[in-house]
Amino acid sequence: MMIRHPKLKMVIVEKENALAKHQTGHNSGVVHAGIYYKPGSMKAKLCVEGLKLSYEYFCKHDVPHNKVGKLIVAQNKDQVKRLDDLYDRGLKNNVPDLQLVEKDCISKYEPKCQGEKALWSPWTGIVDWALVCKHFAQDFEKMGGKIFLNYEVTGFSEMTESKGKGELAPISVQSKDRCVPTKYVLTCAGLHSDRLAVMTGCDLSPRIVPFRGEYLLLSENKKHLCTTNIYPVPDPRFPFLGVHFTPRMNSEIWLGPNAVLAFAREGYRWRDVNIKDCLEMAKFPGLYKLCFRYFIPGCKEIIKSIFYPLAVIDLKKFIPEVSVKDIKRGPAGVRAQALDNNGNLVDDFVFDGGKGSLGARVVHCRNAPSPAATSSMAIAKFIADKLDADFKF
Ligand SMILES: Cc1cc2nc3c(=O)[nH]c(=O)nc-3n(C[C@H](O)[C@H](O)[C@H](O)COP(=O)(O)OP(=O)(O)OC[C@H]3O[C@@H](n4cnc5c(N)ncnc54)[C@H](O)[C@@H]3O)c2cc1C
């Protein structure tokens, strides 16, 4: 918005003492190419556009990144069929330079990797998304934007004055001890996006349910086994991409993430429990329906999370040289998974406005799951168009 409207005064408020403390700073660090997403969906369009914009930005601003590529590897006949479907989907989404790779050629792309067939995506890359966020923040401040940290939004209210400041900035964005007057609001609150939407009169649905994604780390002496991203063929029942091998910009290799229900919206460990979050989940029928539907796979994920060496069974299918002694527990991220009242996982990006005179001045980014980091610059363009249209800047 500031690039389009340099005179606009903008403020970012963030509840933490730094930016990117949650999903943006706790993710796989992959620059996705846009293969998986339903053709025509916002995810498909904005990921492919975001990929291009991201690489342009990284090159222009010297953001360290590496186009290491990605192999999606099928391990059996059923997965080969789904892999072929993924290839078609990738072509429909205009993913650049996708190639199917026959069994004997997989080792040309990753020498120690094996499988029945694979899909090679040379444009998939890696980057530190928290660092990218820092660059965005610097650009924002250079253009005159202000960032208020330690500012937890607790509510929005309309000012009643008929003249003066109230007219120019009729909304007050409140925190415990401060408030910012403004004319318009855009919220992008990740794990709390539903709570902020409700504050402006929006529907409670879709609700956010936190799903932790835990990673394992590959030991120093086995790092050479993985030079590119290696992904399984995803299970179509779940929105998650499955446990993958991912090289990081700091030269670590992360294995994961799994997907287990977290007992706190910012619950990065099993012992992180937030009573308010748990009570809300306990009252939400959509979660019961989801748990009932995915009871067996859910239990399997929990068992593998607790007894993490069991994950080696899956990892070995791709790289047989990996053994239990080569892995240890690593960091975790928490996904803001949007869920409807029937327990359906909301897959696509969701943007929403509020109701009444307050709501008419607000846009909420309610669901921005993976690949929203990759898509961030395209999402920004999409939102800027929406704000221009809705608010007539
Ligand atoms: C485990 C995992 C792996 C992922 N891997 C990838 C990947 O490889 N590639 C990719 O493209 N995407 C990936 N993603 C998705 C990506 O990280 C997210 O889609 C993206 O970071 C979402 O950004 P966001 O700004 O919406 O949310 P966040 O980064 O969570 O930011 C929301 C911010 O809002 C703040 N906030 C919340 N409530 C308030 C309040 N009341 N007042 C003030 N501030 C508030 C929070 O403190 C937070 O800083 C992954 C996500 C996870 C969890």
Helix (H, G, I), strand (E, B) or coil at 353: strand
Average pLDDT over residues 3-7: 89
Q: Is 376 in the pocket of ligand 1 (CB under 6 A)?
A: no
How do residues 257-285 score in pLDDT, each as one tens digit?
Answer: 999 999 999 999 999 999 999 999 999 99
Same domain assignment for residues 35 and 152: yes
43 CB under 6 A from ligand 1?
Answer: no
Tell whether ligand 1 has an atom less than 6 A from the beta carbon of residue 35: no
Last residue of a domain, one of 122, 151, 186: 122
Answer for the pair 113, 224: CB distance below 8 angstroms, yes or no. no
CATH of the domain at 357: 3.50.50.60
Residue 336 sits in the same domain as residue 323: yes
**What is the pTM for the complete model shown?**
0.96
Clarify whether residues 19 and 163 are in a common domain: yes
Q: Are residues 53 and 191 in the same domain?
A: yes
Compute the average pLDDT of residues 222-248.
90
Mean pLDDT of 11-39: 97
Average of per-residue pLDDT values in the chain: 94
Q: How far is the CA of 334 from the centre of ligand 1 (A)?
A: 9
Residue finishing a domain among 122, 142, 157: 122
Same domain, 289 and 299: yes
Examine the domain organization and report whether 262 and 337 are in the same domain.
Answer: yes
> Is 143 found in the same domain as 202?
yes
> Which atom of ligand 1 lies nearest, measured to the CA of 215?
1
My answer on whether 356 and 275 are in the same domain is no
Q: Comparing C-alpha atoms, which of 206, 238, 236 is closest to residue 368?
A: 206
25 CA: nearest ligand 1 atom: 29
Last residue of a domain, one of 345, 362, 384: 345
338-351: pLDDT as tens digits: 999 999 999 999 99
- Whose Cα sits closest to atom 24 in ligand 1? 190
Q: What is the pLDDT of residues 82-136, one digit of tens each?
A: 999 999 999 999 999 999 999 999 999 999 999 999 999 999 999 999 999 999 9
Which among 324, 332, 327 is positioned nearest to 271, based on CA atoms? 332
Ligand 1 geometric centre to CA of 327 (Å): 27
What residues contact residue 255 under an 8 Å CB cut-off, 6+ apart?
Answer: 215, 216, 217, 218, 243, 244, 245, 246, 311, 315, 327, 330
**Per-residue model confidence (pLDDT) at position 356:** 86
> Would you say 232 and 72 are in contact if contact means Cβ atoms under 8 Å apart?
yes
Q: Are strands 146-148 and 11-13 parallel, antiparallel or unpaired?
A: parallel
Residues 132 and 197 grouped into a single domain: yes
30 lines ligand 1 (CB under 6 A): yes
Other Cβ atoms less than 10 A from the Cβ of 114: the count is 16
Q: What is the CATH number of the domain that holds 333?
A: 3.30.9
Which ligand 1 atom lies nearest to the CA of residue 213? Answer: 1
Determine whether the shortest distance from the Cβ of 188 to ligand 1 is under 6 A: yes
Q: Is 22 in the pocket of ligand 1 (CB under 6 A)?
A: yes
Of 22-36, 204-218, 228-242, 367-381, least confident by mean pLDDT is 228-242
Which residue from 169, 328, 319, 334 is spatially nearest to 266, judged by alpha carbons? Answer: 334
Is residue 201 located within the same domain as residue 248? no
Assess whether 249 and 278 both reside in one domain: yes
pLDDT in tens, 46-57: 999 999 999 999
Tens digits of residue pLDDT in 157-212: 998 755 455 567 899 999 999 999 999 999 999 999 999 999 999 999 999 999 99
Q: Are residues 62 and 192 both part of a single domain?
A: yes
Q: Is the CB of 374 under 6 A from ligand 1?
A: yes
Q: 212 in ligand 1 pocket by Cβ < 6 Å?
A: no
Task: Please give the pLDDT value at position 355.
Answer: 79
pLDDT band at 354 (very low <50, low <70, confident <90, very high): confident
Torsion of CA 325, 326, 330, 336, to 10 degrees: -110
What domain range is 84 assigned to?
A: 70-122
Residue 90 Cβ inside 6 Å of ligand 1? The answer reads no
Q: Is residue 390 within 8 Å of 353, Cβ to Cβ?
A: yes
- Tell me how far CA of residue 66 lies from CA of 128, 206, 241, 304, 329, in angstroms: 10, 35, 21, 31, 25
Q: Report how many domains make up the chain.
A: 3
Ligand 1 mutation target, pool 370, 374, 377, most atoms within 8 A of CB: 370
Nearest CA to ligand 1 atom 37: 189
- Asked if residue 369 has its Cβ within 6 Å of ligand 1, the reply is yes
Sign, CA dihedral 277-283-289-294, equals positive
Q: Please work out whether the CB of residue 351 comes within 6 Å of at least one atom of ligand 1.
A: no
